[in-house]
Chains A and B, each alone.
Chain A
Amino acid sequence: MLNTDYKDDVLTVYLSGEIDHNRAAGIRTSIDSQINALRPKRLNLDFSSVSFMDSSGIGLIMGRYRSVGLVGGELSVVNVPDGINRIIELSGVSTLGVLK
């Protein structure tokens, strides 16, 4: 289960723990069903409680950039901890303008 919050057309998803290939599919399905139900103008992915992330997390970010875009919304990636900053930088997701 993901902790989420929805108000004023903004859907915030609080990710936590380790994000790898094993967990990514479940997180993806859960977020996408909420995107499709709520059609938010903005999706905030909050990484503050994420302790580990590999490139599966990058796929998750890029995929949500697309899925929220399909309903006319924008993605923001917020509260990235130091530990996972390196993989985010390496991935080039910053060029999408989503890092806040």
Chain B
Amino acid sequence: MNVINEMHLRFLSKSTNEGFARSVISAFVLELDPTISELADIKTAVSEAVTNSIVHGYRRGSGMIYIDAKITDSRKVIIKIRDKGVGIADISQAMQPLFTTAPEEERAGLGFAVMQSFMDEVKVSSKPDKGTTVTLSKQIVALR
């Protein structure tokens, strides 16, 4: 598995950057000629992870969000979304559908469920007060 392309992005945890992150990731994966549905899946999963960093990771203020993305020669897309925010105390609880710590903001508690359903693999690592890294990967089917 060789990496054939990669990119690194760093932006402030402003909610206007959710759309920016989606646009960048769409443009990046376009070389694999994904279907509309594959592209929508990736955009949605990235939107969830970035929103989590903004709403939860940096809930006490603002900070930078880092996206590292790679494309492999086996048509796999690997996207790492990282923040240096408050971290997640209990990852398995955070990943349970409908669990949310921000109901007053009408967060549905579905972010991780969406990521897991729309991507092939979701890995989460986090340390309280150090930050959270979410790694999403998805195989893009071969050219039709």
Contact = CB atoms under 8 A, between A and B. Distances in A.
A87 B114 CA distance: 7
Task: Kindly list the 6 A-B residue pairs having the minimum CB-CB distance in the complex, ordered from nearest.
Answer: A59-B106, A22-B15, A55-B110, A59-B108, A54-B47, A58-B108
A55 B114 contact: yes
Q: Interface SS of chain B: helix, strand, loop or mixed?
A: helix
B90 to A, nearest CB: 20
The residue in B16, B19, B37 that gathers the most chain A C-beta atoms within 10 A of its C-beta is B19
Nearest to B44: A54
Q: How many interface residues does chain A have, given as a range?
A: 20 to 34
B19 A54 contact: no
Contact of A54 (B105, B114, B117): B114
Nearest to B118: A86
B51 A59 contact: no
A52 B44 CA distance: 8
Contacts of A18: 19, 22
The residue in B18, B37, B55, B111 that gathers the most chain A C-beta atoms within 10 A of its C-beta is B18
B111 A55 contact: yes
B36 interface: yes
A90 B113 contact: yes
Contacts of B117: 86, 90
22 contacts: A18-B19, A20-B22, A20-B47, A20-B51, A21-B18, A21-B54, A22-B19, A28-B106, A52-B44, A53-B44, A54-B51, A55-B108, A55-B111, A56-B106, A56-B108, A58-B110, A59-B106, A63-B106, A86-B117, A90-B117, A91-B108, A91-B110
Contact of B55 (A21, A83, A87, A91): A21
A98 interface: no
Contacts of B70: none
Interface string A37-58: 0000000000000001111101
Interface of A: 18, 20-22, 24-25, 28, 52-56, 58-60, 62-63, 83, 86-87, 90-91
Contacts of B110: 55, 58, 90-91
B45 to A, nearest CB: 9
B40 A59 contact: no
Given A20-B15, A21-B51, 20 more contacts: A20-B22, A21-B15, A21-B18, A52-B40, A52-B43, A53-B44, A54-B47, A54-B48, A54-B114, A55-B107, A55-B110, A55-B114, A56-B51, A59-B106, A59-B107, A59-B108, A62-B106, A86-B41, A90-B117, A91-B110
